Amino acid sequence: MCFAFEAHPPELPAGLVLPSLAGGASAERLELTSPDGTRFAAALAATPRDAGAGVLILPDVRGLYGFYAELAERFAQAGHHAIAIDYFGRTAGPPPRDESFDHMPHVLQTRLEQIQGDAAAAVATLRERTGTGPVVSVGFCFGGTQSFMAATSAELDLAGAAGFYGTLVARRPGAPTVLDHTAEIRCPILGLFGGADEAIPPDQVETFDRGLSEAGIDHEIVTYPGTPHSFFDRAFAEHAEACDDAWRCVVGFVDRVGAGARG
């Protein structure tokens, strides 16, 4: 389990919140249709600013729940339209789901091409509803892996992809191993990792970094010493400094690659 079900995303650091949205933003719950006809849930938060890039949020293993709807609102506060998606429309039906939801049987039934189809439908909706041009994916844990893999997709054609503690080696049969596909990545990458994350050893992060360099891919890898898996959570108050820095890194990354994609 990544973190407590009732957890909230860390607040944006001072200076990143648009003055007009200092009181917060509101996410709209949607039901979208994937290219294969699957209905699935999403949460969209729009910003009044002409955003440089939109954000596609790829959640952890529990899919779409309150944490990620709030996270979309945080990105809107920072000036970026954002949409978060659920993975389990094919097997679990739509949210809401409570803390008792047994997510792993549904995670095991996910397939990369289906998640990317859902992501494509979400990106199309984000653009239709907000006028967003370039889109950056931002994923967490399972979603971090999906974000790195989304960077290989010609259909998604992302401006950039960021992953918080996304596993780099498959941990279940049939799952993608990011390290096997590094050379196929088509856009800039931001990787954010915990130095005390037992699920992602430093040698794997180093291999990823080296592979991105060898492939000539614009990238930044940041490791926060002493931080665990899923450090980006307000319940880990002792990691507030890492959370603040991670916010500045990811918002700066979205700003930069969005501006670059717009030319």
Strands (E), 18-66: 28-33, 39-45, 54-58
In this prediction, residue 233 carries a pLDDT of 83
Q: Tally the domains of the chain.
A: 1
In terms of residue numbers, what domain contains 258? 19-262
List 160's β-bridge partners, or say none.
Answer: 136
Does the pLDDT value for residue 68 go beyond 80? yes
100 compared with 188, residue with greater pLDDT = 188
pLDDT at 212: 98
Residue 74, SS3? helix
- The CATH number assigned to the domain holding 131 equals 3.40.50.1820
Model confidence at 238: pLDDT above 60: yes
Q: Tokens 């709807």, residue?
A: 69
8 belongs to a structural domain: no
Is the residue at 1 inside a domain?
Answer: no
pLDDT value at 1 more than 60: no
At residue 75 the predicted structure's pLDDT band, cuts being 50, 70 and 90, is very high
Q: Which two tokens stand for residue 148?
A: 């790195």
140 belongs to a structural domain: yes
19 confidence band (pLDDT: 50, 70, 90):
confident
Of 104-118, 119-133, 168-182, the one with minimum mean pLDDT is 168-182
Please report whether residue 12 resides in a domain: no
Measured CA to CA, the distance from residue 243 to residue 9 in angstroms comes to 9
- 157 domain residue, yes or no: yes
Q: What is the pLDDT confidence band of residue 60, given thresholds at 50, 70 and 90?
A: very high
Q: Is residue 6 part of a domain?
A: no
Least-confidence region, from 23-32, 73-82, 117-126, 184-193: 23-32
Q: Which residue in the block uniquely carries the two structure tokens 């729940």?
A: 65
Q: How many C-beta atoms surround the C-beta of residue 209 within 10 A?
A: 18
Residue 76 covered by a domain: yes
4 domain residue, yes or no? no
